[in-house]
Structure 1
Amino acid sequence: MYPYHNKIKQRIKNGELESYYFCDNYPKIGECLVFVFKTEPVLRPIRPHKYYEYMNILENQDKINLEDEE
């Protein structure tokens, strides 16, 4: 089985994450969090039951991005 979430977390850690957004009607999934990466595959949807795994990662990523802007 493909380690979907492990790969996404590694890509975030590697600085490949460009942005993210919440979507109510993603094709074949419905509600999800969508990560937008700089490299292929660009879009990676996350189902609601996995949101909790990404909240701390995203908070830390946002802090890093703010520090980089200063």
Structure 2
Amino acid sequence: MIQQLALQSSGAAIGVFLGLLIGLTLRKRKGRTEGILAGSVLVTASAGAGLALIVMMAITYFTTA
């Protein structure tokens, strides 16, 4: 069940990851690093994607249950 929820929710997580990766890379190049976890764009984008995956899995679970 968890695998099915993860597969159904992975599109949103990938979209959030790519969006954060592009946006935060541009932001870091301009010198604005506040809000970036551990000074790493990749870590911050991964954390955002993980959170998006969890939220979308919960939404999918509660709307189909």
TM-score bin, normalised by smaller chain? 0.3 to 0.5
Scaled by the length of structure 1, the TM-score of the pair is: 0.33
Whose RCO is larger (CA < 8 A, sep 6+)?
2
The alignment's TM-score, normalised by the length of structure 2, stands at: 0.35
Larger helix percent: 2
* Largest Rg, 1 or 2: 2
